[in-house]
Structure 1
Amino acid sequence: MNLLISLGIEGTAEKTGIGIVDSDGNVLAMAGKQLYPEEGGIHPREAAEHHAKWIPQLIPQAMEEAGLSYKDIDFISFSQGPGLGPALRTVATSARTLALSLNVPIVGVNHCIGHVEIGKLDTGARNPVTLYVSGGNSQVIAYESGRYRIFGETLDIAIGNCLDHFGRETGLGHPGGPVVEKLAKEGSYIDLPYVVKGMDFSFSGLLSAALRAHKNGE
């Protein structure tokens, strides 16, 4: 049986990504471009414009990296959500246009499940309970009765959002996560409150406490 090859388009928020994989899970190419807002957070319209600009440029780049021609592509996949509405619409339109031009099927992919499946592929884990944390999501996910189910999640903001907000408020820039991580390795431990309720959790209190600690020079 010949391997199937998928070209995927990702664009749920500020990152534009093109990936080409085969049905054995081999990554044949990856190309991407990230939007860095001049100030504040991610504006949905700017994210959509970023995707519209870079998707047409990144697809040929990925195809060249993979050493493939367009007739080798068996189907198109794209990030269907969750994410920023305008960004998702731009990605969906691009995916449909490409699929129609190549006369191949199109498959929408849940962004969160994509993360989980990549983790399973990389680690070889079978039927794991996954703590999924990202910029816009923080969830406890497992596969049960033929579908993924959420057993716990943030009650307010995601941990990635928490770190990015802290970065913006303290002048560290966006995204704040990598900068906070680097500074944490060089700094000392500060006791901050966090909330866990059953399998749910909350990070708004942690953010407020961290901002107060920064203001007080800790």
Structure 2
Amino acid sequence: MSGSRQLYRIPFPIPEPEDRNLIVLGVESTSHTLGIGVVVYKGNGLVEIASNIRKVYTPSKGGIHPREAANTHIRNAKEAIEEALTVSGFKLREVDAVAVALGPGLGPCIRVGATIARFISSYLDKKLVPVNHAVAHVEIGKLVTGLADPLIIYVSGGNTMIVAGKQGYYRVYGETLDIPLGNLFDTFTREVGIAPPYIVEGRHAIDICSEWGRDFIPLPYVVKGNDLSFSGLLTAALSVARKYAKSDRKKLGDVCLSLRETAFNMLVEVAERVLLTSGKKSILLVGGVASNIYLNTKLELMASEHGVVFRSTPTDYSGDNGAMIAYTGLLNYLYGVTVEPLKAYVRQRWRIDEVEIPWMK
């Protein structure tokens, strides 16, 4: 995916640099996607997303194999960088800084992007900017929706959490206690034999399967305060599917439908509770699962009940991508957050609430 060049206004004040047209190359490789993006700061708070190239590793069977994914990223790296630069219209030597996602994620995969970014930074004497993958999902969502200070619902294959900005950090108000929502859907559909591929024509296999069913089956609904637990839900859904739905398409559809609705209802309940306690006036949905129309519909209804704005990150930027790393790298660069290439360490468990956010102070 390259996409057209798009201009956005940063929804909060930032320091204005002396030089305009700052160019940042972003490298994302924390999981199944190698993303290379280029953003340009045009001045007066305007940012242009000049290119956003994605090369996605898809396993032939099972879940993500970190080493296979990393090797795929290595094979695709040269082509992805060249394509991103061609689409953007810039030469590599014209780039002012290189931003890279150093975590959280899969170690072998992160190391591919880190190695690429360290090399470019060292060889061309460009500033290297460290980026937290989770922060990047949030910041690109805020940029493209125009929301400056929303309650953030972050759902993906590797993360499920409710966060909000407070005193220069993103505070985690609630999160999964075991497996993330995206992993729940991927594991279930894989175990019952309807995936991979997990995404077909923009829809997850769980949604396609849900259309086969009609009846709701009670499944474990586990909410603990503001936190959620999906492992019991997964176990119960698999048990029902294996017992009754092996040769019954409608019954399997009933399980898929019930699993999806239960999981989404748990998430909406927690999000609503945090919304009321945090006092936020808007809700932003980010991460790979943000493209799910059923989750969007539920959150729209919840937001309308409380008279707050709801926005979801567009599909081009909801999944892992290089533009989100480049943009968050730009913000870090404007605030002087850089790192020496030899000290650009991979951090597989780099939590979002460990990152200082200078533009929120």
- TM-score, normalisation: structure 2: 0.58
Correspondence for 2:190: 168
Aligned to 1:66: 88
1:19 paired with 2:19, answer no
How much does 1:186 deviate? 5.2
- Note the C-alpha offset of 1:90: 1.4
Query: 1:201: which partner in 2?
Result: 228
Matches within 5 A, 1:151-166: 151-166=173-188
2:57 aligns to what? 35
User: Based on CA coordinates, which of the two structures has the bigger radius of gyration?
Assistant: 2
TM-score (norm 1): 0.94
Question: Given the alignment of the two structures, is residue 107 of structure 1 paired with residue 129 of structure 2, yes or no?
Answer: yes
Task: Quote how far apart the aligned CAs of 1:109 are.
Answer: 0.9
> Percent identity at matched positions?
43
Structure 1 position 185, deviation (Å): 4.4
8 Å Cα contact 1:138-1:153 kept in structure 2: yes
- CA distance in structure 2 between the aligned counterparts of 1:79 and 1:53, rounded to whole angstroms: 19
Contact 1:153 1:200 in 2 (8 A): yes
State the shift of 1:96 in Å: 0.5
Higher mean C-alpha deviation, range 17-26 or range 82-91: 17-26
Query: Corresponding residue for 2:23?
Result: 5
Report the equivalent of 2:216. Answer: 190
Q: Count the aligned residue pairs.
A: 218
Distance 2:52 2:211 in 1: 30
Name the Cα RMSD after superposition: 1.5
Give the match for residue 320 of structure 2.
none
Match of 1:181 in 2: 207
Sort the Cα spacing of 1:214 and 1:176 in 2 relative to 1 into closer, same or farther, 3 A: farther
Change in 2 beyond 3 A, CA 1:25/1:48 = same
Aligned-partner Cα distance in 1 for 2:39–2:210 = 36
Q: CA deviation at 1:141?
A: 1.0
CA displacement 1:63-100 (0-9 Å, x = unmatched): 00111112321100111111001111111011110112
Higher relative contact order (CA 8 A, sep 6+): 2
- Say whether the 8 Å CA contact 1:5–1:20 is kept in structure 2: yes
8 Å CA contact 1:164–1:175 kept in 2: the answer is no
Rounded to whole Å, the distance in 1 between the matches of 2:172 and 2:197 is 26
* Residue 150 (structure 2) aligns with: 128
In structure 2, C-alpha distance between the alignment counterparts of 1:106 and 1:173, rounded to whole Å = 38
For residue 25 of structure 1, give the secondary structure of its aligned residue in structure 2.
strand
Q: Which stretch shows the higher mean deviation, 159-168 or 178-187?
A: 178-187
How far the C-alpha of 1:143 sits from its partner, in A, is 1.0
- 1:82: which partner in 2? 104
**How far is 1:194 from its partner?**
2.3
Distance 1:163 1:207 in 2: 9
Alignment deviations for residues 91-149 of structure 1 (CA, whole Å, 9 cap, x no partner): 10111101122211011111111111111111111211111010011011111111112
Unaligned runs of 5+ in 2: 1-18, 246-250, 252-361
Amino acid at match of 2:193: G
Contact 1:129/1:141 (CA < 8 Å) preserved in 2? yes
3-state SS of 1:42 partner: coil
Structure 1: which 4+ aligned runs deviate by more than 6 Å?
A: none
Q: 1:53 aligns with which of 62, 75, 95?
A: 75
- Quickly say closer, same or farther: Cα 1:69–1:147, change in 2 above 3 A: same
The secondary structure found in structure 2 opposite 1:187 is coil
Q: Which residue, out of 44, 49, 67, partners 2:66? A: 44
